[in-house]
Each structure stands twice: as C-alpha cells, then as structure tokens.
Amino acid sequence: MDKKIKKVVLAYSGGLDTSVMIPWLKENYGCEVIAFAADLGQGEELDHLNEKAIETGAIKIYIEDLREEFLKEYVWPTLKAGAVYEGKYLLGTSFARPLIAKKQVEIALKEGADAVAHGATGKGNDQVRFELGYMALNPELKIIAPWKDDKWTLTSREAAIDYAKERKIPLEQTKEKIYSRDRNLWHISHEGGDLENPYNEPKDNIFMLSKTIEEAPDKPTYIEIGFEKGEPVSIDGEKLGAVELMDKLNKIGGENAIGQIDMVENRLVGMKSRGVYETPGGTILYYAHNELERLCLDKETLHYKELISKKYAEIVYNGTWFTPLRESLDAFVNVTQETVTGTVKLKLYKGNIVLAGTKSDYSLYSEEIASFADTELYDQKDANGFIRLFGLPLKVRAMLKNKKK
C-alpha cells in the first residue's frame, strides 16, 4: 500500500511535529510532500513558513488566510449554540480542525494527491478531528498519521528534537522549553512540560495573549458589545468585521487578564489531560451572548437550548462537525437567534467579568409585569389557582402517605 502513495498533503504548522514530518514522509514513503498551513490568526508563527517548508523538503506550500471563514462558519455557530465543553473549555483548538481538514482535502483534489497527513499524536483528540474530516469529505484519500505508523520511532518530543537537529531543521522548541501550543484568533493552548502535573501552578511567563491578574489594571474597563441575530458586530458602538472585532476584544480582554482557564479535561480517547487556555476575547463574547439571551429568549426556549448546548460542545470537541446532527442543531439554534439582537455592557476587572447592563428591542423583560404592583396583565390573586394546580401531585402524594400510616 505504501508504494502507491505518490503525493501527500500535510497539515503543516511549522511546529516541532509537522516540521520533522516533511523529511520523515519522504524518507519512509518516497512520496512528494505538499505542505498546507491555515492562517487562523497565529500571527508571527507564520513568518518564514514558506521558506522553512521548502528548505525542509516540501515541493510546494499553501498558506491560506482562513480567519474570516474560521470565525463566521465555525466559531460564531458554536458561540450561538452556547457550547462549552465540561463547563470550562471554549473549544479553541477543536473547531479549527474541521476547517483545516476541509481545505486539505480541497488541495489534495486540486494537486492530484492520493493521501493526506497530520501531525497529531495517537493520544490526543486532534487525530480524530482531522481523520473524521477527511473521511466525511473524501473517503478515497489515504490517511497517513505518522505517530500511529509502525515506521515512526520518534515517540517523544525529545526524540523529535534530536531528529530535527540531525537534519538541520530550525525549531523554537528545546528540551527545556517544550510546551505544546496551539494558537489561533480565538485562543492559545498550553500543554506538556511541567503542566503535566496538575498540582503545578502555571508559571506567569506561560501567558502569551494576556496579562497576569497581578499585572492587570487596578481600575475596571467598561465595554459594550453589540449583537445582531446572535453574532457579535460592534464594540462600543463601532461596527467591525469579524477578524477586526476579535483582534480588538483579545487585546482588551488580555489587558484585563480575562479568559485564563486551567483545567483537567476528559479526552475523547479515554484519558484525562491538563491544559491551560487563554481565550480573552472569546470569554467576553460568551458572557455577553449569554446575558443577551436571558433578556431575549422565552423560558422554555432558553432552557431547551441549554440542554442542546452540551451536546453541541461534544460534537465540536469530538470532531463530528460534518454530520447531519450538527447541521440540524444549527438549524434550531439559528431560529432561536432571530431575536438575539442588542447591546451588552460589561465591566472587566482583574480576570473578572461583571454585567453592567443589557438592552434590546426584542427584550421580553417588562418593568410593568416585574413590579410588585397589580397590573392588567398580571393579577397576583391568579397565582392562588395556579399554585393549587401546580402542587396537586404533591398534595395527592402526601394524602396517600398519610392514609397508609
């Protein structure tokens, strides 16, 4: 089977794992390698990536700016669904993988490649996310996952660093500085090294997008987020495109130490892992969106949406993005968001977000009804009959218990 692979498209980041995979694929499969790097907002990480890939042995490299598509087609739907994995993780790495897989498959078709490859390990979630994407979009493509390949002998990051040095591949990682990071417009994750012991507090110098709580300003920052049909569209009244809005929120949130998450999570493959995440702008958006929904959604819709948000998070986390269930849940969520339009005012202070006000033309809150006085719409005496009916099952049960005594 190996001899049939002539050309492979590799999901390439320029980091340790994918850097060593270009020469490894050539040495072990005798194939041509096309590198593909998705610009999802990694910033300077993409600098000199073109030269590095070619010098390392790739015949070609694609670097595509996918930032807007990433936010509008993957991040915003997840935000609108209110999806949070295990109560803390805002899915920053998770929803980037289906998009990368999709573009990989498109490039493979364009270039006549017969295989796709990724650098995810056999212990992580990303292997599943990538490979389910490939399978859903082009099941004819062969999948090469070096970490799970019998030929792969670089079973630690230390071994990979030695392999890279032997082939003169430039790396930022060293055996002393060995965190595994994933960065995009939404977040940055930190794993490995001393973080593998969950009792170790993250060192202050680990943070790249945000200040520490101690460094944050000693006075609060107020901010107003505008939404249209559940999607963020403005900051402090200024209309902004998706990418510009996210960049600005990350700077504001990072300055105030917002969105630093340290958690032990349950991976899809069955083990627990510890990650430290920075999601400054995303944390602000989730908080604001939730508060606006409280104002604009009726009770039953809001409560049911809370039920499906957990399932949506599992779909994103598990990599089952390209499925009828996710599309069906999107259809439901989009209907709920028709009236989620308005403005949320927040106070940011040393890692905390405090609600400072919400307003919307679709607000279901009525000062008249909420007041203690009787109104034409609400007569307090009506509650007597309501409570008698609502509590009837409890009353009947108590009568039965008393009869048996």
Please identify, among 160, 178, 196, the residue that sits at the C-terminal boundary of a domain: 178
In a domain, 279, yes or no: yes
**What are the tokens at 110?**
């364009």
Answer yes or no: pTM beyond 0.85. yes
| Sign of the dihedral through C-alpha 190, 192, 197, 202 | negative
SS (H, E, C) 12-53: CCCCHHHHHHHHHHHHHHCCEEEEEEEECCCHHHHCCHHHHH
Query: ∠ CA(93), CA(247), CA(338), 5° rounding?
Result: 80
Is 13 in the same domain as 134?
Answer: yes
Tell me the binding residues.
11-19, 38, 89, 94, 119, 121, 125-126, 129, 180, 189, 265, 277
Cα maximum dimension of the chain: 87
242: pLDDT strictly greater than 50? yes
Query: ∠ CA(278), CA(303), CA(186), 5° rounding?
Result: 20
316: pLDDT strictly greater than 80? yes
**What are the tokens at 164?**
């890279």
Is 353 in the same domain as 391?
Answer: no
Tell me the binding residues for ATP.
11-19, 38, 119
Is 274 in the same domain as 139?
Answer: no
Helix (H) or strand (E) holding 261: strand 260-266
For the chain, state the CA radius of gyration. 25
Provide mean pLDDT across the span 239-251: 98
Is 36 in the same domain as 150?
Answer: yes
CA atoms within 13 A on the CB side of 82: 23
51: pLDDT strictly greater than 90? yes
Please identify, among 112, 143, 178, the residue that sits at the C-terminal boundary of a domain: 178
pLDDT band for 1, please (50, 70, 90 cuts): very low
In a domain, 246, yes or no: yes
Is 151 in the same domain as 205?
Answer: no
What values do phi and psi take at 344, rounded to 5? Answer: -120, 130
Tell me the binding residues for L-citrulline.
89, 94, 125, 129, 180, 189, 265, 277
Helix (H) or strand (E) holding 313: helix 299-318
In tens, the pLDDT along 249-259 reads 999 999 999 99
In tens, the pLDDT along 3-13 reads 589 999 999 99
**What are the tokens at 372?**
């203690």
Count how many domains the chain has.
3
Is 211 in the same domain as 146?
Answer: no
In a domain, 314, yes or no: no
The CA distance from 314 to 312, in Å, is: 5
Is 174 in the same domain as 25?
Answer: yes
Is 146 in the same domain as 228?
Answer: no
Is 113 in the same domain as 16?
Answer: yes
In tens, the pLDDT along 79-138 reads 999 999 999 999 999 999 999 999 999 999 999 999 999 999 999 999 999 999 999 999
Are 49 and 19 in contact, with CB atoms under 8 Å apart? no
Q: Residue 57 is part of a domain; what is its CATH number?
A: 3.40.50.620
In a domain, 76, yes or no: no
In tens, the pLDDT along 277-294 reads 999 999 999 999 999 999
The CA distance from 62 to 67, in Å, is: 15
In a domain, 82, yes or no: no
In a domain, 312, yes or no: no
What is the arrangement of strands in the sheet containing 352-359, beginning at the earlier edge strand? 238-239, 231-235, 221-228, 342-349, 352-359
**What are the tokens at 117?**
């490859």
CA dihedral 111, 132, 46, 211 (to 10 degrees): 170
Is 196 in the same domain as 171?
Answer: no
Are 181 and 23 in contact, with CB atoms under 8 Å apart? no
Is 153 in the same domain as 104?
Answer: yes
Pick from 150-159, 236-245, 351-360: least confident: 150-159
228: pLDDT strictly greater than 90? yes
In tens, the pLDDT along 355-383 reads 999 999 999 998 777 766 777 778 888 89
Residue with token string 């999601």: 279
Provide mean pLDDT across the span 391-398: 95
Active site residues: 17, 97, 126, 180
Q: Please, where are the H alpha helices in 256-298?
A: 280-296
Provide mean pLDDT across the span 215-229: 98
What confidence score (pLDDT) does residue 175 get? 55
Averaged pLDDT score across all residues of the chain: 94
Please identify, among 178, 202, 221, the residue that sits at the C-terminal boundary of a domain: 178
In a domain, 214, yes or no: yes
In tens, the pLDDT along 160-184 reads 889 999 998 887 765 555 678 899 9
Tell me the binding residues for L-aspartate.
121, 125-126
The CA distance from 354 to 29, in Å, is: 55
Is 192 in the same domain as 130?
Answer: no
Q: Residue 245 is part of a domain; what is its CATH number?
A: 3.90.1260.10
Q: What is the domain range of residue 172?
A: 2-67+93-178
In a domain, 328, yes or no: no
339: pLDDT strictly greater than 50? yes
Provide mean pLDDT across the span 9-28: 94
